[in-house]
Structure 1
């Protein structure tokens, strides 16, 4: 376990990311946290903002009771605000919001209202700052992610294949695509740090075929490298078959079934990692309490497949899997952007 001691180099890293978020001296900044937030990150965020001459203030809410039947991890849909109007009002007026909640505001119910008011939100993933320090993004990453997002928005078909047996077809027409490079400097926008990935939310009945996760692929909800193969059959967006022997497949079957919700079996988003600084082996280097796994989502060349809520297809559920799959070939309208797990040099 890493030591929870404030280091000057971590304040430096937070200052770098806040500078990219266009924080200026005299700016007001809200630091949103909950009682179970990583206190180290909350404190470093405050010190960094103060060093920059900004005027931070804290909003701390009690971590709510988990009303689900299973533990909830890595959903990106924090329920910490609990629709409290005074909290939402304060965040709307803040200008810049540093989100240190455990799950993050990416898909939180209150986020659209906060963004509509012009606030910009930086979600600091619930990682130990040692990981954040390594993952401060640069302008080159932004350019590549922007280029990939433009390409995905113009794509009609995504095909994903692998020697392990994956053969997945995704209709991309009408899909909503987001590129995340790790910071946000425009009013009404949200980004998360670490960044370096693109994801698309396909419309209803767009995903069909077979996805094979091999040993070494990752289930980030469980923070676990797979040790055995799992084969998923996808029919009109839904996992209609999940075959495999051993603990990996059984854990997934039990977790999906526990929700008692058909939408937990549906596709949330598809995409790929683009960050060359993100390390595949990082999950093995941290205690589970010290990582949220966002780095693994951004590993260059992964196929990031996720189940759960997809508002663009009219589906809502609290169940969620993020599954980085290695070694695939991803083709966009026939052009390979990832080949055998290697991101191709097509984005500049």
Structure 2
């Protein structure tokens, strides 16, 4: 277990990220947390803001009662605010919101209202600060992520192939694409730390084919490296078959079925990681409570495939898988952007 105490080096890492977010002296900064948030990161955020001369205040909400039939992990769709208007008003009136909720505001229902009045939101992933320090954003990453976003927006089709058997086609026309490089410095924008990923939310009916999760690929909901292959068959966005023997396939079948919700089987987003600092093997180095998995979503060259909510296809569900897949070749309109798990730079 890594000691949970304040370290000067961690304050310094938080200060550097907030500088990239252009936090200014006197700026109002809302620190959003809940009763089950990682208190160490909440304290580090406050100390870093004070060091920069900002005017921080806390919005602390009770962690809601569980309503799902199974444990919910790493969704990016915090339910902590629960539509509480005074909390939304306080957050939206701030210059910057530091999001330290357990699941994060990335897909939260209240996010558009918070961003709509010009607040920028930095989602600090629920990682131990040991990982956040190591993954402090590199300013050079911004241009590469922006190039990947531009390439996705210009494409009509994404294809994903692998020697393990993946053969997936994604219609990109009309998809909503976003890139995150680890900080936000413009009003009305959101980022998460760690960053270094591009994701596209396809329109309904856009994803077809087979995705093979090979041994060694990752299911981040379970915080588990797969031990045996699992093959997903997709038709018009929905997983219609989960083939495979052993624990990994059984876990996926049971978890998806537990929701009793067809939308849990749907595609949320597709994309790839671009962060050379992020390490595939990192999950083996931390206790589960100290690891949220954002690093593995961003490690360079992984094909990031996710099931669950896709608001741009009018699909909502709490059921969610993020699955970084290795050794894939990703092409946009035939132009390779990831070659057998290695990003092709520049991406556009």
TM-score normalized by structure 1?
0.99
> Using the alignment, how far apart are the partners of 2:12 and 2:139 within structure 1?
18
Are positions 1:49 and 2:44 aligned together? no
> Using the alignment, how far apart are the partners of 1:210 and 1:140 within structure 2?
34
Q: Which residue of 1 aligns with 2:170?
A: 170
What is the CA-CA distance between 1:209 and the residue it aligns to? 0.4
> Using the alignment, how far apart are the partners of 2:51 and 2:207 within structure 1?
48
Aligned-partner SS, 1:139: coil
> Using the alignment, how far apart are the partners of 2:115 and 2:188 within structure 1?
4
> Using the alignment, how far apart are the partners of 2:139 and 2:265 within structure 1?
37
Are positions 1:71 and 2:71 aligned together? yes
Q: Which residue of 2 aligns with 1:308?
A: 308
> Using the alignment, how far apart are the partners of 1:289 and 1:222 within structure 2?
12
Q: Which residue of 1 aligns with 2:211?
A: 211
RMSD across aligned positions (CA): 0.7
> Using the alignment, how far apart are the partners of 1:79 and 1:145 within structure 2?
29
Are positions 1:99 and 2:138 aligned together? no
Aligned-partner SS, 1:337: strand
Q: Which residue of 1 aligns with 2:31?
A: 31
What is the CA-CA distance between 1:2 and the residue it aligns to? 0.7
Q: Which residue of 2 aligns with 1:144?
A: 144
What is the CA-CA distance between 1:139 and the residue it aligns to? 1.7
What is the CA-CA distance between 1:314 and the residue it aligns to? 1.2
What is the CA-CA distance between 1:324 and the residue it aligns to? 0.3
What is the CA-CA distance between 1:20 and the residue it aligns to? 0.6
Q: Which residue of 2 aligns with 1:261?
A: 261
> Using the alignment, how far apart are the partners of 1:188 and 1:247 within structure 2?
43
Q: Which residue of 1 aligns with 2:113?
A: 113
> Using the alignment, how far apart are the partners of 1:209 and 1:230 within structure 2?
14
> Using the alignment, how far apart are the partners of 1:50 and 1:287 within structure 2?
30
> Using the alignment, how far apart are the partners of 2:106 and 2:279 within structure 1?
23
Q: Which residue of 2 aligns with 1:128?
A: 128
Q: Which residue of 2 aligns with 1:22?
A: 22
Matches within 5 A, 1:204-283: 204-283=204-283
> Using the alignment, how far apart are the partners of 2:163 and 2:7 within structure 1?
45
What is the CA-CA distance between 1:115 and the residue it aligns to? 0.3
Cα deviation digits, residues 208-266 of structure 1 (max 9, x gap): 00000000000000000000000000000000010000000000000000000000000
What is the CA-CA distance between 1:33 and the residue it aligns to? 0.4
What is the CA-CA distance between 1:346 and the residue it aligns to? 2.2
TM-score normalized by structure 2?
0.99
- Alpha-carbon contact 2:151-2:347 (below 8 Å) kept: no
Please say which of residues 336-345 and 250-259 is displaced more in the overlay: 336-345
Matches within 5 A, 1:327-342: 327-342=327-342
What is the CA-CA distance between 1:347 and the residue it aligns to? 3.5
Once superposed, which parts of structure 1, at least 4 consecutive aligned residues long, lie more than 6 Å away?
Answer: none
Aligned-partner SS, 2:140: helix
